[in-house]
C-alpha cells in the first residue's frame, strides 16, 4: 500500500512538472511571436512620435507662442487627422491579419490597395480643416496670436497629412506578416536625419519655423518611400502580386469596416485633444497649454510602448482567428496584457520619481516646469492606465468588433469622462487637474468594460466570424476575376 501511495505521489509530481514545463514553453514561444511584432512596432512608433517631439523641442526654443501654436496643431489638428486615418487603416489590420492566418496571402496586396484609395480620399476631405485652422481656433476661444501662428504651421502640415496614408497602411500590411523590422530600420535612419536637419535649419542657418517644418515634412515622407519600395520591389513576394483592378471593385464593405474602425480609434485619440481645448479656455492659457503638452508628450512616449503591444495583440489575435485557433488567441491576449502591464508599472514608478525635472527637455521656463511638476502624479497614473487599455483595443481590432468598442468609448469617454472633467475643472475650480481627473475616470471605466467584454467573449464564435469574413472577400474577388 505504501509503495502504491508513493507511486501516485511521484506520478502527480511528474505531471505537475510537465504542466509547468509546458506552460513555460507556451509563454516563451508566444512571447517570441509577440515581440517579433511588438519590438519593431514600439521602436517605430517611438521614433515616429519622436519626430514631432524633436520638432517641438527646436520650435520651443524659437519662442513660447510658436511652442504653444505647434503644440495645438500637433495635439489637436494632427491628432484629429491621425485618429481618423489610423482608425480607418486599422480595418486593414483586421483584414490582413485574418487573411494571412487563413493563408489567403494574395488577398493582402488587394486589401492594401483598397485601403490606399479609401484613405487618400479621406485625407483630401480633411484639407479644409488644415486650410482654415486660424478661424476655427479663434471660434473655439483660443488666443488670437497663438491661432495665427497655428494657421501657418497647419499649412506646412498638409504634406504630413498625406504621409499618414502610406505610413499606416504599409505598417499594418507588413505587421500582419511579421515583416515590420524593415519599418524599424527606416524609422531609426529617419530619426537621425531629422535631428541633424532640424539643428542645421533652425540653429545653424536660423531659418526658424519654416526650417523646422521643412525638416518635419522630409522626416515623415522618407520612411514611406522606403516602405513602398520594399513592398512593391520584391520584399513581399507572396502577398504583393502587383497592382490589380480588383482594388477598385467591391469597395463598400471595406469602407464600412474602415469607418467603424475610424470611429473607434478617433474617439480614443480625440479624448486628449478635448483636454487641450478645455485647457485653452482656462486662465494663463499659454503656460497651461505648454505644461499639458509636455505631460502629454511624455505620456505619448509611453503610449508608443502600449501601441506596440496593441499592434502585436491585434496581429496575434487576427492570425490565430484566421487559423481557427481560439485557445491560442486567448493565450496571446493574456500574455500581451500581462507584459504590457508590468512595463507600465515600472514606468509609473519612474515618472513619479522624476516628476517636473523632465520638463526642461522641452522648455527653459521655470513656470512651465513647475506646472508640469504639479501634474506629475496624474501623468504617472495615466501611464499606468494606458499600459492596459490600448492592448484591449488591439484585441477588438484583431477580432474585428470595432463597432462595439466605439459605443463603449462614446459612453465612457464622452457621456462620463468629459462631463465629470468639466465639472471638476470649471465648477469645482480645480483647473487642468480637474479636467484631467475626470477624463482619467472615463478611461478607467472604459478599461474595466473592455476587460469584461474580452472575458465574456465566445472565441469559438469569433473564429467562425473571421472565417466568414475571409471567405466573403475571397469569394467576391474570385467572382470579380471570373467576370473579368
Please write the tens of the pLDDT for every residue from 286-340: 566 677 777 777 777 777 888 889 889 988 998 888 888 888 889 999 999 999 9
pLDDT class for 21, splitting at 50, 70, 90? low
What does the pLDDT read at residue 477?
Answer: 52
Cα–Cα distance between 314 and 317 in angstroms, integer? 5
Answer whether residue 14 shows pLDDT above 70.
no
Cα–Cα distance between 118 and 255 in angstroms, integer? 7
Least confident of 270-274, 365-369, 425-429, 461-465: 270-274
DSSP percent split of the chain into helix, strand, coil, nearest 5: 90, 0, 10
* Cβ pair 322, 100 in contact under 8 A: yes
- The distance from CA 395 to its chain's CA centroid, rounded to whole angstroms, is 13
Find the mean pLDDT for residues 210-218. Answer: 92
Task: Provide the percentage of residues in the chain whose pLDDT is more than 70.
Answer: 85
Q: Three cell numbers at 319?
A: 492570425
Q: Three cell numbers at 315?
A: 496581429
Find the mean pLDDT for residues 430-457. Answer: 87
Select the highest-mean-pLDDT range: 16-20, 79-83, 266-270, 271-275.
Answer: 79-83
pLDDT class for 11, splitting at 50, 70, 90? very low
pLDDT class for 407, splitting at 50, 70, 90? confident
Q: How far is CA 175 from CA 46, 254, 467, in A?
A: 16, 19, 20
Find the mean pLDDT for residues 20-42. Answer: 84
pLDDT class for 19, splitting at 50, 70, 90? very low
Closest C-alpha to 391, from 447, 471, 431? 447
Other CB atoms within 10 Å distance of the CB of residue 115: 27
Please, where are the H alpha helices in 61-78? Answer: 64-72
Q: Three cell numbers at 139?
A: 471660434
Q: Which residue has the higher pLDDT, 408 or 373?
A: 408
* Cβ pair 90, 265 in contact under 8 A: yes
Q: Three cell numbers at 380?
A: 504617472
Select the highest-mean-pLDDT range: 9-13, 213-217, 359-363, 394-398.
Answer: 213-217
For 379-448, where are the E strands, in sequence order?
none
Average per-residue pLDDT in the chain?
81
Answer whether residue 141 shows pLDDT above 90.
no
Q: Three cell numbers at 74?
A: 500637433
What does the pLDDT read at residue 13?
Answer: 41
Domain chopping of the chain, boundaries = 26-477
Cα–Cα distance between 175 and 405 in angstroms, integer? 22
Cα–Cα distance between 168 and 122 in angstroms, integer? 13
- The distance from CA 235 to its chain's CA centroid, rounded to whole angstroms, is 25
Select the highest-mean-pLDDT range: 14-28, 76-90, 461-475.
Answer: 76-90
Q: Three cell numbers at 75?
A: 495635439
Please write the tens of the pLDDT for every residue from 97-118: 888 888 888 888 888 998 898 8
Answer whether residue 87 shows pLDDT above 70.
yes
* N-term to C-term CA, the chain: 78
What does the pLDDT read at residue 277?
Answer: 63
Least confident of 13-17, 66-70, 129-133, 362-366: 13-17
Q: Three cell numbers at 361?
A: 527637455
Q: Which residues have C-beta within 8 Å of that of residue 374, sequence separation ≥ 6?
A: 356, 433
What does the pLDDT read at residue 283?
Answer: 55
Residue with cell 490597395: 113
Other CB atoms within 10 Å distance of the CB of residue 144: 9
Q: What is the pTM of this model?
A: 0.78
Select the highest-mean-pLDDT range: 10-24, 250-264, 316-330.
Answer: 316-330
Q: Is 161 exposed, middle or buried (0-12, 13-18, 19+ CB in 10 A)?
A: buried
Q: Three cell numbers at 448?
A: 474595466
Q: Is 397 exposed, middle or buried (0-12, 13-18, 19+ CB in 10 A)?
A: buried
Closest C-alpha to 241, from 116, 117, 104, 109? 109
Closest C-alpha to 239, from 97, 102, 106? 106
Cα–Cα distance between 437 and 432 in angstroms, integer? 9
Closest C-alpha to 180, from 298, 314, 12, 287? 314
What does the pLDDT read at residue 15?
Answer: 46
Please write the tens of the pLDDT for every residue from 147-172: 888 999 999 999 999 999 999 999 98
pLDDT class for 16, splitting at 50, 70, 90? very low
Cα–Cα distance between 129 and 126 in angstroms, integer? 6
Amino acid at each position: 500500500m505504501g509503495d502504491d501511495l508513493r507511486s501516485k505521489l511521484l506520478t502527480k509530481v511528474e505531471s505537475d512538472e510537465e504542466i509547468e514545463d509546458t506552460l513555460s514553453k507556451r509563454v516563451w514561444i508566444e512571447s517570441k511571436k509577440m515581440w517579433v511584432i511588438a519590438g519593431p512596432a514600439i521602436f517605430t512608433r517611438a521614433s515616429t512620435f519622436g519626430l514631432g517631439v524633436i520638432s517641438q523641442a527646436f520650435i520651443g526654443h524659437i519662442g513660447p507662442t510658436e511652442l504653444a501654436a505647434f503644440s495645438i496643431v500637433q495635439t489637436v489638428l494632427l491628432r484629429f487627422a491621425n485618429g481618423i486615418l489610423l482608425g480607418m487603416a486599422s480595418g486593414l489590420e483586421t483584414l490582413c491579419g485574418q487573411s494571412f492566418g487563413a493563408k489567403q496571402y494574395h488577398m493582402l496586396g488587394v486589401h492594401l490597395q483598397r485601403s490606399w484609395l479609401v484613405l487618400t480620399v479621406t485625407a483630401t476631405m480633411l484639407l479644409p480643416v488644415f486650410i482654415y485652422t486660424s478661424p476655427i481656433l479663434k471660434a473655439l476661444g483660443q488666443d488670437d496670436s497663438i491661432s495665427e501662428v497655428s494657421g501657418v504651421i497647419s499649412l506646412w502640415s498638409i504634406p504630413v497629412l498625406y504621409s499618414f496614408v502610406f505610413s499606416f497602411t504599409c505598417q499594418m500590411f507588413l505587421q500582419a506578416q511579421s515583416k515590420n523590422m524593415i519599418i524599424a530600420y527606416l524609422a531609426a535612419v529617419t530619426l537621425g536625419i531629422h535631428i541633424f536637419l532640424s539643428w542645421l535649419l533652425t540653429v545653424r542657418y536660423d531659418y526658424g519655423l519654416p526650417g523646422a517644418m521643412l525638416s518635419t515634412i522630409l522626416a515623415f515622407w522618407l520612411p514611406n518611400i522606403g516602405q513602398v519600395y520594399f513592398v512593391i520591389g520584391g520584399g513581399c513576394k507572396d502577398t504583393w502580386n502587383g497592382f490589380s483592378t480588383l482594388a477598385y471593385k467591391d469597395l463598400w464593405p471595406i469602407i464600412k469596416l474602415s469607418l467603424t474602425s475610424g470611429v473607434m480609434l478617433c474617439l480614443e485619440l480625440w479624448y486628449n485633444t478635448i483636454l487641450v481645448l478645455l485647457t485653452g479656455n482656462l486662465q494663463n492659457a499659454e503656460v497651461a497649454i505648454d505644461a499639458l503638452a509636455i505631460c502629454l508628450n511624455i505620456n505619448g512616449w509611453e503610449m508608443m510602448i502600449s501601441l506596440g503591444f496593441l499592434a502585436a495583440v491585434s496581429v496575434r489575435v487576427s492570425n490565430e482567428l484566421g487559423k481557427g485557433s481560439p485557445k491560442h488567441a486567448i493565450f496571446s491576449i493574456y500574455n500581451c496584457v500581462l507584459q504590457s502591464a508590468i512595463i507600465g508599472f515600472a514606468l509609473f514608478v519612474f515618472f513619479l520619481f522624476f516628476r517636473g525635472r523632465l520638463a526642461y527637455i522641452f522648455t527653459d521656463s521655470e513656470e512651465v516646469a513647475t506646472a508640469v511638476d504639479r501634474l506629475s502624479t496624474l501623468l504617472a497614473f495615466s501611464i499606468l492606465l494606458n499600459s492596459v487599455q490600448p492592448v484591449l483595443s488591439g484585441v477588438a481590432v484583431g477580432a474585428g468588433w470595432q463597432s462595439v468598442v466605439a459605443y463603449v468609448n462614446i459612453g465612457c469617454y464622452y457621456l462620463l469622462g468629459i462631463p465629470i472633467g468639466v465639472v471638476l475643472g470649471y465648477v469645482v475650480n480645480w483647473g487642468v487637474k480637474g479636467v484631467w481627473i475626470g477624463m482619467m475616470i472615463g478611461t478607467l471605466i472604459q478599461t474595466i468594460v473592455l476587460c469584461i467584454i474580452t472575458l465574456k467573449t465566445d472565441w469559438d464564435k469569433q473564429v467562425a466570424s473571421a472565417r466568414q469574413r475571409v471567405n466573403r472577400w475571397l469569394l467576391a474577388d474570385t467572382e470579380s476575376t471570373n467576370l473579368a
